[in-house]
Chains A and B, each alone.
Chain A
């Protein structure tokens, strides 16, 4: 009797603990957001993926995308101008798939993914020297380290730092 009830107490504890751990993991994943992005649109791929990779819409909040799309003629020091119809179509796609949760916490005038709080937190351990590496050149060059970024995959297993 003694051992049986002890056993049951043990079972219940283990069971509750594992349920708790699972919940923690699941919510952490949901809060941090996934790191694989599959939403796609042919015009977005064609027009936003020529000068750099097409940055996933999930990485910037909707107000930021709206600002990016309203200033394409003067786009980070370059002319990325588009006809109004194509720009509007891409804008809808970007805003519909824009960041939610923690990644949406950005000042409304943020234009760069690399200036958002989540980006800086995720990359705080990347040494300064790596950002200046000739194969990286700019923080916006995600593929330099995220080898599968063109497929929208930013998972840790596909990160290779240039050396």
Chain B
């Protein structure tokens, strides 16, 4: 009877845990490790990520009219606004918005879309890692 109770209790706790945990839960640190592995693979001379380079990349206009800052603003600790539709966007820096960089599939999806919009191509692992280094360096 007693063990039955604990088994059921454990089962309930585990199921609730699964339900509360997003499918591909991750942390910004784990996601950064993924970028690092990819950057090393593409470039044997890889020498780390740089928040400063990331900031420049984030604020610069590339081939198109937009920069990352056009929608996320030049201050990623603050809420942004979509440049075309005017819809609000929650802050991109993890210290201001703990949901950011916790779902690898979501991060991949938006890097692909936004890099295509801003640069007309995909971002390299180096560029993504630099941007993430910059965003995690910002403290509220």
Contact = CB atoms under 8 A, between A and B. Distances in A.
Interface in B81-119: 82, 84-87, 109, 112-114, 116-117
A144 interface: yes
Interface in A121-163: 135-138, 140-141, 143-144
A115 B114 CA distance: 26
Most chain B CB atoms below 10 A, which of A52, A79, A138: A79
A141 B86 contact: yes
Contacts of B84: 51, 76-78, 137-138
B113 A137 contact: no
Most chain A CB atoms below 10 A, which of B86, B109, B116: B86
B86 A138 contact: yes
Report the contact-size class of chain A (Cβ under 8 Å from the partner): 10 to 19
A67 to B, nearest CB: 20
A77 B112 CA distance: 15
Interface in B12-33: none
A35 to B, nearest CB: 21
Contacts of B82: 51-52
Contact of A78 (B87, B112, B117): B117
Contacts, number: 39
A53 interface: yes
Contacts of B87: 50-53, 141, 143
Contact of B86 (A79, A81, A137): A137
A52 B87 CA distance: 6
Contacts of B109: 81-82
Contacts of A144: 86
Nearest to B86: A137
A87 interface: no
B85 A138 contact: yes
A80 interface: yes
A52 B85 contact: yes
Interface of B: 82, 84-87, 109, 112-114, 116-117
21 contacts: A50-B87, A51-B84, A51-B85, A52-B82, A52-B85, A77-B84, A78-B84, A78-B113, A78-B117, A79-B116, A79-B117, A81-B116, A135-B86, A137-B85, A137-B86, A138-B84, A138-B85, A140-B85, A141-B85, A141-B86, A141-B87
